[in-house]
Structure 1
């Protein structure tokens, strides 16, 4: 489909833009509508590239939309809707099977901790997935019986659960619609260790997708540094080196000071490759900033709004001033990309812009919207995109000129998105 946008703002001036399936075909004044399948009168609103979320988890975000929100307490599991399983998300507490048995005695139940790294199962759920309960990530009591706590078990748990492919496809379709309403036309999925059926499933979405967890892709390879069980330096260095030998950068999960220091040591030993990323960089002491030059940091400003009170009470006081840095890294010349980490952080990129500007924790790390917003216009490799002939066809039309939108960023300023060829841009690499 070819769409002609008239009376839109591009780079501060009014013009027309013709978008076709192969890319933006023309930008100019009074473009002819010949051959266009659709005409959109922009009414003076800004036409920008479709936004890119640089770090989220598609399957988990889609599933969260139909799960019990346990962020205010596990008692909400008692009122879970009917169904063969109960699925909860966002739990603050870490509990065992006995606690969950008392809350959900009659159905298998699984609850994800808000950190995303821990699943908690009741006894019925443990029995249902018992063949998968092997290895050190299954916590056991002194008698060797699983307690119900499973660490970093997403892919293994997914494989052990009953097939719900139709429901999953529907929830993903609903999520894509939500992303489009927010102005997002492409994402980087940061879920590690994806199997071939999951890669195929995500590749069928009408969305630009880069997969860090595709074992056969060329995008940065996701490496999960487990906060509760840090690897030794030699093992992590080997992982980095193996990815680099395949000409793949790495994208390393770092949410603690210790994980970041370990990762930087591994990168020093293995050598760095253009495109290497630090995912989260949730704690960056000032003395470490210079060592991040040459890497890209993918941060999540929205976390600071969603979890302010928890961070104040749970984070080491010595780390509070160094949480999710943005301004200091930007000033030090470290490329920073903004993202959501949905479902663990708020999906709305406009909320993320407000959080980057107005954050209460470590306020010296605030950045103007004019600094954070352009990171959403970069592609999965961090390259800037713009509205110009020959550029990618995914575009977002705002209700107002861009300067007005950036003064008061909000999702309701997104009028529509158009992406005539989303499947052609789906890839697992750069």
Structure 2
């Protein structure tokens, strides 16, 4: 049975972005019932005085791998390694000082030494290259597997290759589907451990104003989330994606995108059908029109006829397709398939797009599910691999101008699950490293970024779900450095506080 609706509530003395007048937001049965001038005709409902703070529609992260994000916080962090040698030195030092826990170890197989798991390395610009021998020398027989920041590559040593029954060459690298399969295997920890980490990660997301996520964890995820909800998970709404290998099962169980999942307490819905058709920039497997400097055009992992057939099946089954396409050739293939199938949907990432393809996003009614922080993380790799064509890389302004719907996300753990990080990157095209903006002509406005982080909602209106973030400052007026780390005072989902500033905000009026 669904959880009972939160009691009626009035958020008193609150302003909307760009406004000066204080308002009262009335909430009934989890929905904004009306908005009035402050102190005007308040009912007998519980009233919380927000002292002139600012209320915005609650924020969504449209692309998350939630279990991987929760695990990443509990594994060896390799994100600052500037070379392969740096990465193995980090692993070696962790082995030497004994600062290891079950979180780092991964699967413990039959009582033998558990596997060391590291995350976040970026080898696209390393002057040296990973090798099996290098990692073997650092780990001295202890199984070790290092997962790249984009999840498309795993660097492992001989002991780990033997443990998991995989073949690696002298590089020690697995890419694409073999890497995904091993990553899933490394995640086989006790449910209670992982669920606790996920709950903690969700609470932290709620503290940043997040009310919902689209979870693309690479597994059959429905029962996982039902278990978490039955165990007390309440921080976020979750739309759980489905992958092609599970589409027949989903059809047999009459699942459709957007459908409430029974037993989910109103928090769980069926998400899109996720289809990966190319790789990533870091691994140089994103499928491109022109060859990479090192040779090759990347990988098209699903053929054009196969993709069209999948989209037709999705249309017949009531699923919204979400097609992973990073390279410009992959985006062309995805657009062709959407047009041929006669279905709307999402293109995940859309990092590199041909000039002649921008207009097709709008004409076909597609959503570009983009991760603006990647533009800053990958700018050097993009410049190195896509040369003088990066004016159309991470092209937010061009997509929006062409009529695409923008949906912002993080792809956590690739970037942090923090919408303010994404919105700051989208609006400034620069980060905390002090470098100037990268292709600032592709920036969007704060109003556009907020809407793209709130499913198109620009202001709170009567009839909206009472999914709300309360801010200490006006997000349209603060300096860039404040916007990037915007203080969040409170977050509500369906009129229920999921974060209340440590208990100091939700005071009775």
TM (norm. structure 2) is 0.72
C-alpha separation in 1, matches of 2:208 and 2:226: 25
Distance (whole Å) between structure 2 residues aligned to residue 190 and residue 349 of structure 1: 17
Aligned with 1:8 (options 8, 14, 19): 14
Distance 2:91 2:371 in 1: 28
- Report the counterpart of residue 477 of structure 2 in structure 1: 404
Structure 2 residue matching 1:44: 3-state secondary structure = strand
1:40 aligns with 2:48: yes
Alignment of 1:102 with 2:137, yes or no, is: yes
Residue in 1 that maps onto 2:493: 419
Name the SS of the counterpart of 1:110 in structure 2.
Answer: strand
CA offsets 1:368-418 (integer angstroms, 9 cap, x no match) = 21222211121xxxx537423332122111112343348651334211112
The number of residues matched between the two structures is 404
Is the Cα contact below 8 Å between 1:45 and 1:402 reproduced in 2?
A: no
- Give the deviation of 1:364 after TM superposition: 1.6
Change (3 A) 1:265 1:420: closer
For 2:389 and 2:229, the matched residues in 1 are separated by 39
Structure 1 residues 420, 264: CA separation in 2 closer, same or farther (over 3 Å shift)?
closer
In the alignment, the residues of structure 2 paired with residue 370 and residue 195 of structure 1 have an alpha-carbon distance, to the nearest angstrom, of 33
Q: Deviations over 1:70-90 (max 9, x none)?
A: 121312112333233321111
Cα shift at 1:60: 1.3
Structure 2, unmatched stretches of 5+, are 1-5, 102-113, 124-128, 258-270, 280-284, 286-298, 430-436, 498-509
Q: Which residue of 2 aligns with 1:88?
A: 118
Comparing 95-104 with 109-118, greater Cα deviation is found at 95-104
How far did residue 165 of structure 1 move?
A: 1.6
CA–CA separation in structure 2 for the residues paired with 1:194 and 1:115? 21
Q: Which residue is 1:327 aligned to?
A: 397
What's the CA shift for 1:34? 2.3
Closer, same or farther: CA 199–259 of 1 in aligned 2, 3 Å: farther
Matched ranges for 1:217-232 at <5 A:
217=255, 218=257, 219-227=271-279, 228=285, 229-230=299-300, 231-232=302-303
Q: Using a 3 Å threshold, how does the CA distance of structure 1 residues 157 and 280 change in structure 2: closer, same or farther? A: closer
1:305 and 2:376 are equivalent in the alignment = yes
> Counterpart of 1:426?
none
Secondary structure class of the residue paired with 1:283:
coil
- Aligned to 1:62, the other structure's residue is in SS state helix
Q: Using the alignment, how far apart are the partners of 2:488 and 2:173 within structure 1?
A: 43
1:339 aligns with 2:409: yes
The 1-side partners of 2:169 and 2:373 are apart by 37
RMSD of Structure 2 on Structure 1 (CA): 2.7
Q: What's 1:427 paired with?
A: none
Query: What is the rounded CA distance, in whole Å, between the counterparts of 1:403 and 1:362 in structure 2?
Result: 22
Q: 1:77 to 1:127 in 2, by over 3 A?
A: same
Alpha-carbon distance in structure 2 between the residues aligned to 1:341 and 1:91: 15
SS of 2:202's equivalent in the other structure is helix
Instruction: Find the aligned partners of 2:470 and 2:453 in 1 and give their Cα distance.
Output: 15
- Mapped pair 1:353 → 2:423: yes
- For the residue of structure 2 that corresponds to 1:221, the secondary structure is strand
Whether 2:395 is the aligned partner of 1:377: answer no
Q: Contact (CA 8 Å) 1:370, 1:406: kept in 2 or not?
A: no
After superposition, give the CA deviation of every residue in 1:256-290 in whole Å (9 maximum; x if it has no partner).
11211222222233x2323x111110001211112
Secondary structure of 2:448's partner? helix
> Structure 1: how far apart are the matches of 2:380 and 2:303?
33
Alignment of 1:235-250 (within 5 A): 235-250=306-321
Shift, 1:8, TM fit: 0.3
1:133-212 counterparts in 2 under 5 A? 133=166, 140-141=168-169, 147=172, 149-152=174-177, 153-154=179-180, 157-159=183-185, 162-201=188-227, 205-206=233-234, 207-212=236-241
CA distance in 1, matches of 2:495, 2:158: 47
Which string of whole-angstrom CA distances, capped at 9 and with x for unpartnered residues, describes residues 135-161 of structure 1? xxxx5449xxx9552533435642476
CA contact (8 A) 2:347 2:366 kept: yes
2:32 to 21, 24, 34: 24
- Secondary structure of the corresponding residue to residue 414 of structure 2: coil
Cα distance in 1 between the residues matched to 2:130 and 2:272: 34
Question: Aligned to 1:220, what secondary structure does the other structure show?
Answer: strand
